[in-house]
Every structure is written in C-alpha cells, then in structure tokens.
Homo-oligomer: A and B are copies of this chain.
Amino acid sequence: MPSAHRFVNDLTTPALLLDVDAFQHNLSVMATRLPGRQLRPHVKAHKTTALAQEQTKHGHDTFTCATIREIEGMAAAGLGLDLLLANEVVDARRLGAVVAAGIGRVTLAIDSDETLDAAVAGGVREVVIDVNIGLPRCGCDPADAGRLADRARKAGLSVRGVMGYEGHLMMVVDPTEQREKVEASMALLLRAHNDVGGELVSAGGTGTHIVNTWATEIQAGSYALMDTQYAEHNEFAFRQALSILGSVISVSRDTGSKGWAVADVGLKAQGMDHGLPTIADASVWFCSDEHVTFAPAEPVHFGDRVRVVPAHCDPTVAYHDRMWLVQGDEVVDSWPVDLKGW
C-alpha cells in the first residue's frame, strides 16, 4: 500500500527508488534539447506506463518499444498514439490485434522478407525498414533497404521510413571521435532512406543523442533514469535518478580499511552485465544472489539504509514490480513496473 509508506526507511528492502527531483531534471533537460517528436522515448529502459505518462507531459507523445508486451501495455494505458516496435518479431498477430482494437498505432521494424511476411500475416499495417549501420545485430544491408520497401508497399504496407541503431558507439566518450563514427554510421542509414523514402529516420540512444544530428528522431530511454555507465558522459548533464535501497544486514568487526559490510541488494535486484554497482563513499567488492559486500569509508551499522546505484538501469528495473518515488527521505508516490515480460 503506497499510502502506508511515508519515509524511505519504512520500505521493505531491496526497493527500487526513483529520485523525483533528478528524474524531473532529466526530463526537462531532454525536452529542451530534443523537444517534441525529435525524441521518441524508449520505454524498455523503465517499463513503466506511469513514467511514460510523465514523458508526455514534457511534450513527447511518440514512443519506442522493444517487446510486444510493451506495445500492448502502452496501448492499454492510453499511450498508443504512435508506437514503434524497434525490433523484429516472428509472430505479429498480437500487434495486429492492438491495431484492430483501435487502441494503438503500431509501426513494426522489418529487416527481411520473412519479417515483412510476418507483418502482413499479423495484421500490422505500418513498418519501418531496419537497417544495419554497424552493430552486429538486427537490420538489413543498407543496399537491400529500397528493395524491401518496394516489396512492402506492394504488399499493402505503409512504409514510414528507416531506423538504425548505432549501439556500438554509445560508449565512445570522446565527443569528436564519437561524432565522426556516428556520422559514418548515419551515412549508411541516410543512403538507405534515400532508397526507402518516408518521414522517419529513427536512430540513436542516450549515448549519442547530442552528436546524432542526422536522425529525425532519437530513440533514447536511459536518460530518464541514468546508470553508472552513462554517467561518464558529463556533457549530458543528466543526474542519477535510479537506485536500489538496501539495508545493512551484517558488518565485519572492523569496517575500516580491513573490514566490510553487507547489504541486501544482490544479483536478483539488479542487472550485472555492465559490472558492479556503486555505493557512495564505499568500495563495492562483489554481489551474491541476495547480498552486496562493500567497504564503507566510514563505519556503517546494522539496519542502516544504503542506496546502491546499478551499472545498467534497464535489466535492473526488469527485476522489480514497483518503483518508489522519493524526495530526500520521503516517499511521495509509487508506480507499478507494468510492462515486464513478453
């Protein structure tokens, strides 16, 4: 019961926290930088329709999704004005059902004859051609994009444009080097767009949202929450809004330079693909299923609360059923993480 909690320290741990001030700061910064439909926020980062609703208040009413479940949930929540599934699917019937129900406009990425056929068979009416621009993942060869678009139109589909994802360039920290590499990737996408047509050149992410000036819309998601990896990009001016509240459950006898403490934030409360989380004024040693062992700079005590900042927000959020909105030590609201699963 959200209303039963007034203070952070009353929460059962581990608990996913959203720092409201940092979150609103991030949304404001992004809405100034990429207003309106220059940003198509990616919901995979937060999987939370209430959070997407906040993004609409900042002027973004089109969204990017990674799973069919995210499309269904966004449409059911009344956020289906213009949803892009930026991913390929084998069976598009659940997407066709969203369109047929009149609750969402769904545009599906296709990168092959088979995905084109799946779109038609599933009752999807609008597509973008997904083009490989350097990341070895989905996307057709740029030279094949025009042919696919022609075939899609002949099959009765509306082709809204192209998309690509320069995911291999998100973590290039030097802005000049990153801009050059993004420009080369986007040249491939623009060449494909020349063959395909349509109003959309959809690309990018939080890591390239400033340097990618060629896309008509940026698919950034992490900017709303931020994680420790993107924090290296100081020029973004985003703040860490996401953390996991834990309780200290054990303290070794000497919590100075030779000792450690343990909190109840383990592998099942956070994604680990980008490495260890961080804790302010502490060195994190390792995580176990339900523990994080860390060396605090100053002694901590049994029952103390700690905020653990995950290295990667997306797979962290996907472990939790609810996020708690906090201002300082006060819990002001909570949102269900309602777009989980597939």
In this assembly, does A164 line the interface, its C-beta being within 8 Å of a C-beta of chain B?
no
A342–B13 touching, CB < 8 Å = yes
Binary CB contact string for chain A from 244 to 281 against chain B (1 if under 8 A, 0 otherwise)? 00011111110000001010100110011100000000
Contacts of A1-60 to chain B: CB distance below 8 A: 12-14, 44
Is B303's CB under 8 angstroms from A90's CB?
yes
- CB-CB < 8 A to A303: which residues of B? 90, 114
Q: 1/0 per residue A275-312: CB within 8 Å of B?
A: 00000000001011111010000000111000000001
The reply to whether the CB of A111 lies closer than 8 angstroms to some CB of chain B is yes
Query: Looking at chain A, what size class is its interface with the partner chain?
Result: 35 or more
B141, B264, B315, B342: the one contacting A267 at CB < 8 Å is: B315
| Chain B residue at minimal CB-CB distance from A66 | B290
Closest residue of B by beta carbon distance from A69: B12
Within 8 A of B (CB), among A132-157: 132, 136-139, 141
Let me know if A262 and B319 touch, CB within 8 A: no
Given A111-B250, A341-B321, A342-B12, A87:B137 Cβ within 8 A: no
Instruction: Assess whether A229 is interfacial by the CB under 8 Å rule.
Output: no
**A148 to B285 CA separation, bound complex (whole angstroms):** 27
A136 touches B293 (CB 8 A): yes
| From B87, B112, B248, B321, contact of A290 by CB (8 A) | B87
A293 and B141 form a contact (CB under 8 A): no
A249 close to B136 (CB less than 8 A): no
| Minimum CB–CB distance for A112 against chain B, Å | 6
Residue in B closest to A250 when the chains form the complex, CB atoms? B138
Given contact pairs A247-B90, A250-B88, A260 touches B44 in the complex (Cβ within 8 A): no
Closest to A110 in B: B250
Point out the residue from B14, B138, B262, B312 that lies within 8 Å of A137, measured CB to CB. B262
Cα–Cα, bound, A249→B321 (Å): 28
Per DSSP, chain A at the interface is loop
Verify if A67 is at the interface (C-beta below 8 Å from B).
yes
- Cβ A291 vs Cβ B138 within 8 A: yes
B293 touches A112 (CB 8 A): no
Q: How many Å lie between the Cα of A66 and that of B111 in the bound state?
A: 44
**Cβ contact within 8 Å between A315 and B268:** yes
Q: Which of A167, A293, A318 has the most CB of B within 10 A?
A: A318
Report if A178 contacts B (CB, 8 A).
no
Provided the pairs A137-B262, A272-B272 are in contact, do residues A112 and B318 lie with their beta carbons within 8 angstroms?
A: no
Within 8 A of B (CB), among A105-126: 111-112, 114-115
CB pair A273–B267 under 8 Å, yes or no, is yes
* B13, B90, B262, B285: the one within 8 Å of A302 (CB): B90
Tell me which residues across on chain B come within 8 A of A272, comparing CB atoms.
271-273, 315
Q: Can you pick out 16 interface pairs between chain A and chain B where the beta carbons lie within 8 Å of each other?
A: A13-B342, A66-B289, A87-B291, A88-B249, A90-B249, A90-B303, A114-B302, A114-B303, A115-B302, A132-B252, A138-B250, A267-B273, A267-B314, A267-B315, A268-B271, A289-B315
Closest 3 CB pairs of A and B: A114-B302, A272-B273, A138-B250
